[in-house]
Amino acid sequence: MPIQKLPLDALQKVRQHIKSALALPEAEENPRSPLAYDADDDSEPPEPNSLSDLGCLFSFGGPPDLETQAPNANGKWFISSLDPAAALMKLPGVKLKPAIRFVSYLYRAEQDGIGSTWAVPEALSTTASLERALTANPDRAHPPHPEGALPDVMDALEGDRSAISFVIAGLLRREFKELGARGKSAQWAHHRLINVPPPQAKWDWKVKPPQDLSPKVLIYPDQRAVVEFFTCRVTAPVAIYQHIDQFPATHYKAASVDRAIALPLK
């Protein structure tokens, strides 16, 4: 069972492709806050200058469900127009299972933001079905849970069990988990894939320093697989991280460990 090493530049290109495909529209990444309106003021709300401004009018006493469904910065979950399945296009080894769709909800409040991505049966991916998860007025700690959603978003993947398919699955999971996150909620975005310790710092290793930081995959005869790769978190707290994904023989839902193994010497 030889360990397969993968070139770092290939993984970097895969990650960049995924990140580009999962880039949110500006209106959803940074929705405009509604104009302030004093309920005691008898003046009429300002007329919109364009169709894109119409969404702001719903905040002036409009039905709550309309506020929730449209992009907003009011701390109300809304459905994203992004199709996360676009991240799978042109990627080798993995694909979306038939009759399954990815859907995302977004939460925006001032500088805070998170997202929640699900895999749902195609028949339950209509706007009407997805909006039903918003009727309970979910809060930040309790994201919308669409009807029929699979237990794990990675349950929606199938593939050829090649080495690259497992690495892609691990990167996809982390990008899906952080889709919509911004500000202090963004963590994975601060990690950069590496195959050597960055020379800009001297490192205090918390474990025995690995001899080789190249991305690696070990596939067992029964089709179980283990992936190991490394990143450097480039914003405080700066650290070198080891990432290990263990995949069972029948699906792409991994048991993962992400741990800091080295810190810059002070």
pLDDT at 2: 87
Burial of 90 (0-12, 13-18, 19+ CB in 10 A): exposed
Residue 47 pLDDT: 53
- pTM of the predicted protein model: 0.86
pLDDT tens digits along 172-206: 999 999 999 999 999 999 999 999 999 999 999 99
| Burial degree of 83 (CB within 10 A; 0-12, 13-18, 19+) | middle
Q: Which residue has the tokens 């169709």?
A: 51
pLDDT above 60 (res 61) = no
What is the per-residue pLDDT across 37-56, written as a single tens digit (0 to 9) for each?
Answer: 344 444 454 555 444 444 44
In terms of residues, how long is the chain?
A: 266
pLDDT band, very low/low/confident/very high, at 33 (cuts 50, 70, 90): low
Kindly report, residue by residue over 216-234, the tens digit of the pLDDT.
999 999 999 999 999 999 9
Calculate mean pLDDT across residues 10-26. 97
* Helices 163-178, 8-21: crossing angle, 10 deg rounding: 40
| Domain ranges across the chain | 4-22+56-164+170-183, 187-264
Checking if the pLDDT of 168 tops 80, the result is: yes
What's the pLDDT at 34? 54
What is the pLDDT of the chain when averaged over all its residues? 89
Q: Is the pLDDT of residue 62 over 60?
A: no
28-44 average pLDDT score: 60
Cβ proximity of 94 and 157 under 8 Å: yes
Lowest-pLDDT range, 47-56, 71-80, 163-172? Answer: 47-56
**Region for residue 229 given its phi and psi (left: phi exceeds 0; alpha: psi -120 to 50; beta: otherwise):** beta
